[in-house]
Structure 1
Amino acid sequence: MVRVRLKLPSSEGRVARWLVAFMTLGFIALAAAAIAIGWITVRNRTYTAEILHTQDVRQAIATLQIQMEQSETARRGYILAGKPLFATAYARSAGNLVPSIRKLRHLTRDNPRQGARLDLIEPRFVQLRALRTQSMTLVASGRIAEAQRRFAVDASVPLMRGIRYRTQAMAADEVRLLAIRTARQERTSALFLSVAGLAAALLLVVAILAVLLIRRYTADLAASRDSLRTLNETLEEQVAERTADLSRANEEIQRFAYIVSHDLRSPLVNVMGFTAELAAAAVPLAELVDRAEVEAPHILTEDARLAAREDLPEAIGFIRTSTQKMDRLINAILKLAREGRRTIAPEHIDPAQLVDTIVGAMQHVVDDRGAVVRVERPMPAIVTDRLALEQILSNLIENATKYLQPGRPGEIVVKGHTERGRVILSVVDNGRGIDPRDHQRVFDLFRRSGAQDQPGEGIGLAHVRALAYRLGGTIDVQSTLGDGATFRLNLPTHMTIQDAA
């Protein structure tokens, strides 16, 4: 009898190696984009601060101009009419001139051109203030005619004209600086979008290639299975050989998720190791710069000093933070995968007692965060998986203690009731709340809501929802910003193994 050999479409591990290669390329692109975006963000923040500073200077100049004009107008009105109302207006506006000049001097201390203009304004202001004080004193003593005669011949007008000219020049210079700094910020924003777009495009290409590879492998495997079925009437040894090949192929498919998650850690470990070596090498480099600065300062440039003391440590810190985040994400994904394979074991549970155990285990965390957890009894008994329910409630209670409203003591209430033959367990808090637009989004993987001021990767609630589904239930949230949140876990009263499936 003719022996027909069935060949699988690729050798063992070949597809996995290609897939890991694609994932590694995507990670490298993501890391490079993250570093570039981080640098661009720092530069953009600097440009934004410069723009805000320019706006502050413009506001200070405008305020000074208004106060100069208001005080001069009040003085002339007092000379012409002699009414106390003008004297009061003059005193109010003139009293703010000196602080305004000081503020403008402080804001322009980094601009020699503006400082030079202020050096010309201040002596003119002193002379003008003396003339104004003389006029106001003459009018206050009833010598209005003499005040008017002196005003007609004194230097108030040319002094005021000189001050106006120089404040207008200062304002024009700030407008010029604002245009320059705004253009730099726009260029930086455009660069940011370009880098982000390039990274997204590269990741998309990698993802498409990986999907095509998997689809091709899956199609080839399906073809192999069809061929195997056509040979089911051949010799027993041929059937055994084909069955063994098919089993190995199926095992390879099952190992894909584990291989990807596991092998993805290898380049990550390399990056973390090289980052540690860079950090270690930066120490003697900084010491060498310090020594050169003392013993041979002429060979040390400012760029070298900044690179050794600031730029290199900052870059190393950013890389370390990024790799640590990626490591946490991989660990979380592996944890989710292991939980998905765990066998569900329903048993009778008292939810109130379970919550007491959870709160007791995290009592120090609750106390440190200034919160109080209260259990409303009685709570309905339930038949479900203890470990899964404990993980769900632990996550919800910990989140409630984590996202408190500043200035308001945290209060968390855990309660339960039956509704239409199902058990509803609720975790109610008075924290910062969740925007209604994010009520569904918070349960998605790697998605978070509100201010990102607490540690986390956006995995906890996704894990909670997955566990709730495995227990044959659902979970939802009711909340408004600033008024706390209520998470409702809806579970069957008596769970069976069929529900878990």
Structure 2
Amino acid sequence: MQSTNLTALGRDTRVNRFILTLLTIGFAALLAGLGAALWTQQRNTDSERWVAHTLEVQARIGAFASKAERMETARRGRLLSDDPAFNGLFDEALASALADLDMVQSKTADNPEQAANIRRMRQLLSDYVKAERTERSKGQSAQAALRSDFFHDPVVVHIREIRQVADAMADEERALLRQRESLQAQSLRTFNMVLVAIALLILTVASATILLVRRTLRDLRASRLELSALNTDLERLVDSRTTELQRANAEIQRFAYIVSHDLRSPLVNVMGFTAELEAATDVIARSLHDPAQAGAAVPSPADVLRAVEEDLPEAIGFIRSSTQKMDRLINAILRLSREGRRTLAPETLDLTALVRSIADTMQHRLTETGTTLTIAPLPALTSDRTALEQILSNLMENALKYLQPGRAGEIHISGKAVRGRAIIEVTDNGRGIDPRDHERIFDLFRRSGVQDQPGEGIGLAHVRALAYRLGGVIEVVSELGKGATFRVNLPIEWKGAEANG
């Protein structure tokens, strides 16, 4: 599970990193798009300015051409009416035309074509004005001759050339206007495309941001839930470990008390009968001394005989019995210690087959006692085979050992899987156990009920120790005369002491 969580965490981290990278690229592209928009806007502004510039130049050229026509009109009016007032109109139109030409020259200084046209125009205008001044200075007869033949008027040639150059200048500006209007339209299209691209980028970045925020919020919620679950599991684990430590501590205290109590009893017997042994040997020793040298009364032959035939054998017998009991107790403790140090090896077990193999070893006794043994389907689990065999064989042997006299024995083995745990029950219809002894029977050297069966009281203590080592517990439900049910609760997937520690 932890490996799965780490894999999911690494995958989520890579996805989040990918989204952040896309967001970074998106924001960078958005900044680039804004820069492009500003640049395009500047180009559009420049194009508009140049279009306006060209339109103004066109207007000035048109104004100049109009002033030139007014000059020619004033000249002809003077010729036709011989009115000197037209000279003032001519000079006024000339001044205005020169101002327009100066303006056009200042605005087209960067255009070599127009610069050449303006130089040509100034030359033509100068020639035209000189011709007009010359014509104005001639007498009435010369002017009358011009009025009679306008078609051959030499000054008209100058005004025609001025018109041609003005048309050329206007054509040049119209070409520039078309070019600049095209650039303006292109700039506007580019600006619109940049705006669309920016809008798409904004939508993309906004969508990615919303996605990242939602994902982050979802991850935060999941993390909070996971953290809460971990805290709950940790609290449960701490409570469980605390309970286990308290149980282990109580077990150690009970074990120390039981061992010290059960070893103290034979030791007291040894000490007591050692004193009797010393008294008997003292009687014998005094009987062997010379009465004349003895400082105390010499025991009678009857006392000596009683010491030899009764006191000494009795003391030696009780001492031997006590030491044998101590030897059995010590050997039982050593056996439990060796079993506790044995390395457990988890493996996948067919529990039903395992129980059937144990039943096969008990078949003779089952037949002999007329006991019926039934085995229900049991869940498969991963555990230590030897330890599980010892637990189940001990419980099944106890069920067979403590049958109720006068009642046909029945033993039923059943089990089920519940939330990753295997619950195994060994039920019998035997003599039962007093509820006051339900905990006591699991203590070392403790038994319950009538002691008419062989045993030292270490079997159930060993069973509980093995159940603890396998990560489980054992309990009993029973009443006197109503049989007993021993319930073993073990993990289905036990990985060993290191994994569970």
TM-score band (shorter)? 0.3 to 0.5
TM-score (norm 1): 0.40
TM-score (norm 2): 0.40
Which one has a bigger Cα radius of gyration?
2
Higher RCO, Cα 8 Å, sep 6+: 1
